[in-house]
Amino acid sequence: MGSLNPESSKAFSLCGYLWRIIRDMPKQSWAKTLEFARASKKLGQDDPRRIVHSLKVGLALTLVSFVYYLQPLYHSLGNSNAIWAVITVVVIMEFSVGATLGKGLNRIMATLLGAYLGFAVQWIANTSGDKWQAAKYEYGLTIFILTLSLVSVSGYREDKMLKMACDRVLTIILGSFIAMTVCIFIFPVWIGEDLHYLVASNIDKLGHFLQEFGERYFSSETEDGKPGNIDRSLKEKYESVLTSKTREETMANLARWEPSHGQFRFLHPWKQYLKIGNLTRQCANKIEALDFYLTSETHQTGYEVRMKIKESCQYISSECGKALKELSSEVKRMSSVSTSKDHIERAKEGVEMLNSVIESNPWEGFDVMDIVPAAAVASLLTNLVSAIETISQAVQQLVSMAHFRTTCPENSLFTMATSPASSANRIDVFWHEGMLKHDPGNGVFDSGMDPGFLDVLEKHPENSDRIRNMVSILQRGPISPYISWHLGSPALIPHLLSFHTHEYINALVQADKEGGRMLCGGTFLNPGSWDAALLAAGTTMSAMKHILDGHGKVSYALVRPPGHHAQPTQADGYCFLNNAGLAVQLALDSGCSKVAVIDIDVHYGNGTAQGFYHSNKVLTISLHMNHGSWGPSHPQNGSVDELGEGEGYGYNLNIPLPNGTGDKGYACAFNELVVPSIQKFEPDVIVLVIGQDSSAFDPNGRQCLTMEGYREIGQRVHRLSTRHCNGRLLIVQEGGYHVTYSAYCLHATLEGVLNLPSPLLEDPIAYYPEDETFSSHVIEAIKNYQKDKVPFWKAA
């Protein structure tokens, strides 16, 4: 078989190549079709409006093409000018209404101006003779307006030139009108709404990052104790905020052209969105610095160093995140709610707590280089609160300028007929979970003793479970819409010395350093107890300061360990520091001339009474079970003859009630003894010391109060505070050892303090029979004794 010559071989190869192209063409075409379909599907999934926009462009072009098919219109505009309508649609038809309107109106105005200038120049040139005759090359500088160039260099006579200018203007107006009509009335895309949601989304992204940051930075998930990493998706979100300036400015410029639609008015305050956007980026810069300390290999600090500021920093980070998310929600929903302000105030309280912790020098003994990164994080979080407050102020300005509607905060668990609108029907609850760390142990009741023959030992009565239920019932119970939460902070040693002696505080500090010990019967200072006691004292003082500073009328210090048995020189009855006594002294030091204390714990508030036993500035009233003294730690009897000494004589009123006094007996005691005493004393502020151990089912009391009795006490104290001290009332938690019923009784007490028209919770134990006959005789006897012995009673 002969071989092919070179020319034949080349031709054969070319034919083979062409055959392969033809053979593969259907396959490649199908692949391209599939690729296009996938791209179209992705585009539709990412933003379905893009697909709709392409259909709108097709519709607009179809409509404008009728210029060619309608003979009268075609002949009137001329065959050379009709194309301008089509070109106009192609040029100005944009994705959003604002962009289309901006281009369309600008094109119409530019065409009108260009036609006018072009006609004017041509007329001047024609009427000036050859000297001013326009030549085509003389108008190179005028091409910035196409119409001006076309009209002025067309060479037409004036009458034809005028017609050409009019035709061009009409075709462009026609094309612009069709494009703008389709864009506005058929599935419009409002660029202003996109800007609105972009700004809200950017704020929300920062909020998500901050809520995650607190948990990650103070975790110890890695073996070397370094903080955990934040998901890359969260980092990308805050990084996208940093690069959003150009996009926001472009959107704001286009949004100005949009007509009124929905809640967006014409001349909506779009510039305010740019201000909020700039403030959000400033906040993002601070967050980027925080992320640096989370991810940097060279600027890490040890786990123990971070733990010293963990609780306050986590709280600040969490509240800042919540505040940003609430602000985002306000912008997104175009409604104003007050919850973001609450979160910012709590973040500020966290800053105060952080400052208190730093002032106490928690890093003593640590290397300075280990401390610096943690201190930098604390400083950045502090600055972040100010930045978020500035964003909040800008959002509130937007609320006012854009006339956002005002709504009440939603509660996902309960629907209330009314929502709290002011401090008059709100209770500011001060709490810190660090107080749960106090563990008094297990044993036979409160003894801490294990006799060796019991299979099951019970928790100490003053265990954390009872407080956990109190917290949860206020967070998730029907009363939750009326509660505003605030973070407590630890007291410093100098604060404690306003009530307690140096020697006693030093003894407590030493006991803590030694690992703890039993201070007296049932009172155990264990590891973690001293920190919890400092938090309880500081949190109660913070609640009082909140009232004194005018931030609220009613504050509730939800604290443990309790305090009203702690005397200036010794511990007693589960109490280490006298929380209420410290708050009373703070009020006196802040300018209050008189403070009244009403203690309804089942046990005598001997520590508070002892602290002010010689003072006529503090009226202490204690309604308690007639239990007498229980040993060296509690030498007081709580009897009616313990009236105070010196200037304080007659300002310590004890109301020892018989066992089983019940709701009616307590109501009688209030009406006959408490109310008249408060009326005569006229305090500047009232401190209600509450213990649910007076309830019918408490293991540590026998007074048989029910939820209804506690509710009535709350109502009476509310009326007293409203009438005599402008509503200023501090409530301090003490005893209450039935793990569930104590929480119910607390709920009922606060319902009464709020003076709600009807109960929010039913008593799960229902009716408890009582006989007030004996207690009423006792109360009458106490009344007669006080009238005879108490100076301000006799003066009446």
Please identify every residue annotated as catalytic: 565
Tokens read off for 590: 């802040």
Reported residue count of the chain is 796
Alpha carbons 384 and 362: distance in angstroms, whole number:
22
Q: Which of 130, 265, 242 is nearest to 193 (CA)?
A: 265
Q: Which of 177, 487, 245 is nearest to 348 (CA)?
A: 487
110 SS3 class = helix
Tokens 């392409």 identify what position? Answer: 54
Q: What own/partner pairs with CB < 8 Å and gap ≥ 24 does 62-67 have?
A: 63/178, 63/182, 64/88, 64/89, 64/174, 64/175, 64/178, 64/179, 67/171, 67/174
CB 53 within 8 A of CB 95: yes
Q: Which of 774, 776, 794 is nearest to 785 (CA)?
A: 794
CB 532 within 8 A of CB 436: yes
Alpha carbons 297 and 289: distance in angstroms, whole number:
14
Q: Which of 275, 285, 518 is nearest to 384 (CA)?
A: 285
Alpha carbons 248 and 276: distance in angstroms, whole number:
10
Q: What own/partner pairs with CB < 8 Å and gap ≥ 24 does 338-342 have?
A: 338/409, 339/409, 340/392, 340/395, 341/392, 342/484, 342/485
Taking CA atoms, 122 is separated from 112, 134, 140, 230, in Å, by 15, 7, 15, 69
The dihedrals phi and psi of 163, each to the nearest 5 degrees, come to -65, -40
CB 712 within 8 A of CB 763: no
DSSP-derived pairing of the beta strands 729-733 and 685-690: parallel
Could you please report the per-residue DSSP string of 29-88?
HHHHHHHHHHHHHHHHHH-HHHHHHHHHHHHHHHHHHHHHH-HHHHHHH-TTTTHHHHHH
Alpha helices in 434-593 (DSSP H): 464-476, 493-496, 502-513, 529-548, 579-589
| Residues facing residue 655 across a β-bridge | 623
Give Cα 444 to chain centroid, integer Å: 44
Output b/e per residue, 334-349; b: 16+ Cβ within 10 A: bebbbbbebbbbbbbb
CB 291 within 8 A of CB 235: yes
Segment holding 245, helix H or strand E:
helix 245-255
How far is the first Cα of the chain from the last one, in angstroms, to the nearest whole number? 142
Q: Which amino acid is at 121?
A: V
CB 535 within 8 A of CB 490: yes
Q: Which of 124, 173, 115 is nearest to 146 (CA)?
A: 115
DSSP-derived pairing of the beta strands 517-520 and 523-525: antiparallel
Q: In terms of C-beta density within 10 A (0-12 exposed, 13-18 middle, 19 or more buried), how is residue 160 classed?
A: exposed
